[in-house]
Each structure stands twice: as structure tokens, then as C-alpha cells.
Copies of this chain bind each other. A is one copy, B any other.
């Protein structure tokens, strides 16, 4: 895992975007004045409000506020259409937009020459994970392997079904769940082996776990279900052999957060479960709706949850999802630029390794400093330049109060050195399609400034992360 500074793959038309941009003032459908920026190839790069005083304007860590503003007219039109739909039916639950969103996702992410995907929209990514575990038959007393470095929901969903999460470390470089750590666990904790029933790889920061094929082989040998947590990896792909798979389509069930902070989402909480099993999809359509059988409004046939996606939420999802590919290209272009600058300047920072067969969605762009103090120095420089940063995640899961205190049981496998280092030293640079060229420049300059002031360029970074 020494390909530390490798460039992320980037589509050819974006390779030269650093050479030229042009800006044009526009008026969108809602009458809001925006400034559209185009790169040399003529692709719209970003549309935000006026760039006046852009040199000091705050750069938020997340871009979904700007995204929603840009989509305002489309969204209000879509929501108004949902209102119309309900006038006749008298209800807004599980309306047309939900089905439409499900069909869009199924069509976008079904790999040719494989069985079609079924998408079931739910009210959060957490609900998606919970539903996938229930549908896979994970039950109280079971153990489920999850990475220590992920959002709390990956583990909480296991706790909700009464299973115990086993936290394993990440692979150095790619930062996704380590198969070596899993194998170590099976040796060290042979007593648990027969009670492990599932494993949840997380496609962290938008990069598909590269060893998915090996993981699935291992899981099949052990009799485990595999559930992908693809919340951060909308539209990310992994090529295995001759087949290119989308995140969330390689296992028993793929779970997505569709929340508004994700690469494409529903403004607020939302989620989606993808499966090739029509039976699982049929079960989950009942489960999300309190166990209600389609066509039997007041008949509750399986123990379910109030977990359906709302129709207004789904309408937002359909508006955003059609932009996803373009937005992912824009994220990739920014990631490429950041990585190139870090490499060219020889800054002693670690970034995520992405093998050639992987095309990430760049939900987050994380840089890892050599120490927590160094991270703070970088963040201070960014804050001085009015640039927000975030920690994804500042605390690995076994250190969270709910697990550390014993309120919820868990098992920790090994010393979790990689996860611990990421939590202590990683920080996110802003990355979203609405981040304009000048703002990217400001981010880059602030990072360089931190090195000019405090840190050494070109120094080898602690190995193993």
C-alpha cells in the first residue's frame, strides 16, 4: 500500500481544467442571480451567488446549502407537483415520486449482464442498514463485523437488531475495512467465530473497498451475509475482472444514506436499500411501512418500522439524482487538483489510496497530518482564511460514549491503530461541485501556508497509515 500519492482517476475532459475558467452572470428560473463558471472544455463548473468579495467569503465544509439554492426552482416545481398528486388521492405517502426515485436508482446502478437491482427507499441511511440486517436474518445474539472508522449508524443498526458489533481496523492507505484484521480476529477470537453472521464493509469517503471480491469469498466460506454501507459512495465503482460494479451492488444488500449532505440526496434524512433479491425487496417494502402488505392498508403482516421515505423527500431526490454523474465528475476534478498540488508541493500529508480499478465518488477529501498538533496547525490556517473543515470522524466507534460506557455491548479486535490515527489526525478539505475555482485556490493556498509557517514539506510521514 505504498501508492500514497497516486492521482485519482479523472475523466479526460477535466484533466486540463486548471488552465482556464470563464465566468458568466446568469439568472436562473427562480430569478436568483448566479455566477456560472465554465472550465476550458465548456463544462459548467459551479453556479453560486455573486463572487463579489469572494476572497473573504466563508467556504462552508459542506455544499448542500448552495446545491439546494441552485436547485430552488426545480425543487419548488417538483414539490408543487406532489401537492397536485395528493389532491386526488388525499394522501402523500409512498406516492409516485418514491417509485420514480426507486426506478432511477435501479436503472442507474444495475450492472449490465447481471440480475436487475431492486431499490427500496426508506427514511434514513440508518434505517437502510437496520432493514438490511433484519432482511438478512441477523438476530439477537449474533455478531457482526464492522469497521471502527465509520459513522455511528453502521454499528448502531447492528445494536438495534440485538447483535453485537465487532470493530476491526482499516487497511493502511485505502482506509477501508481490513481483511487482514478480520483474519486476525478469526484466529484470536475463535470463540466468537460461529456466532458471526454478517460483515459490513463501508465504502469510506466514497471509495469502494478494493478487496470486495476477496471479502465476498471469505464471507461465503464462513457463511456470513455481506451488507455494503455505500452511504458515502453514490455512483462510485469498482472493476472486478471484466465487470464494473457500482457501490452497493456487490453484496446481499447495499445500503445508502440519501441524506442531503450526500453526493445526491433528499435535502434531509433519507436512505435506500439495493438488492438483487425480489423477495428481499418485497419484504422490505412491507417492513418500512409498519409491516403493511401492499393492497391491505390495515393489515400488518411482519413486524415493521415507520421507515418509509416521504414523497416530498423523494421528489427532491429525483431532482438531485439526475445531476449525480455530472456532480461526481466535478468532485473528481477537485480531488485530482488537490492531490496534484499536495504531490507537487511535496507536502507531508497522507491522502486516500485509490487503485486503478476504483473510481471513487469523493464524498469527502481527507488529508491526514503527522500528528494531532499538525492537524490543528493546518486547520487554524484554513480557519484564518474562512475555510471550514470537518472531522470524519474524530472518534472511532469503540471510543464513542455509548460503546465505551458499556451501554451497548461491542467487541474490539486488535489495537485499531489505523482507525485511531485517522480519527486523531485526519481533516476534510471542502469538496463539492459548488466549490468554485477561486475557492479551491484559497483552500490550496491555506494548506500551503500551514506548511510554510509550521510544517516541513517533503518529510516522510509515519508509515502504516
Interface residue ranges, A against B (CB under 8 Å): 49, 60-66, 68-69, 72, 75-76, 79-80, 83-84, 86-93, 123-127, 152-153, 156, 159-160, 259-261, 267-269, 290-291, 298-306, 308, 310-313, 388, 391, 393-395, 400-402, 407-408
Contact = CB atoms under 8 A, between A and B. Distances in A.
A144 to B, nearest CB: 16
B269 A312 contact: no
Give the residue among A72, A92, A300, A401 with the most B Cβ atoms within 10 A.
Answer: A300
B300 A402 contact: yes
Contact of A75 (B49, B83, B87, B401): B83
B267 A92 contact: yes
Give the residue among A60, A87, A88, A259 with the most B Cβ atoms within 10 A.
Answer: A87
A63 B86 CA distance: 9
Contact of A76 (B80, B90, B300, B395): B80
Give the residue among A79, A126, A261, A393 with the most B Cβ atoms within 10 A.
Answer: A79
A393 to B, nearest CB: 6
27 contacts: A60-B90, A64-B92, A65-B90, A66-B87, A68-B86, A68-B87, A69-B86, A72-B83, A75-B79, A76-B80, A79-B79, A92-B267, A93-B260, A93-B269, A123-B306, A126-B306, A127-B306, A152-B290, A156-B290, A156-B291, A156-B300, A267-B312, A268-B313, A269-B310, A291-B402, A298-B393, A299-B400
A70 to B, nearest CB: 10
B91 A300 contact: no
B299 A401 contact: yes
A126 B259 CA distance: 21
Contacts of A69: 83-84, 86-87
Nearest to A394: B298
A90 B64 contact: yes
A80 B72 contact: yes
A277 B91 CA distance: 35
Contacts of A388: 90
Contacts of A153: 290, 306
Contacts of A308: 269
A261 B79 contact: no
A421 B128 CA distance: 39
A268 B65 contact: no
The 3 A-B pairs of least Cβ separation, nearest first, read A268-B310, A126-B306, A62-B90
Contacts of A127: 306
B126 A269 contact: no
Contact of A302 (B60, B68, B393, B402): B402
A109 to B, nearest CB: 23
B90 A303 contact: no
Contacts of A312: 267-268, 312
A62 B76 contact: no
B291 A260 contact: no
A300 B401 contact: yes
Contacts of A303: 156, 159, 402, 407-408
Contact of A268 (B89, B92, B391): B92
Given A126-B305, A153-B290, A268-B313, 14 more contacts: A68-B83, A75-B83, A76-B80, A90-B261, A123-B306, A124-B306, A125-B306, A126-B290, A156-B291, A267-B312, A269-B310, A291-B402, A299-B400, A299-B401
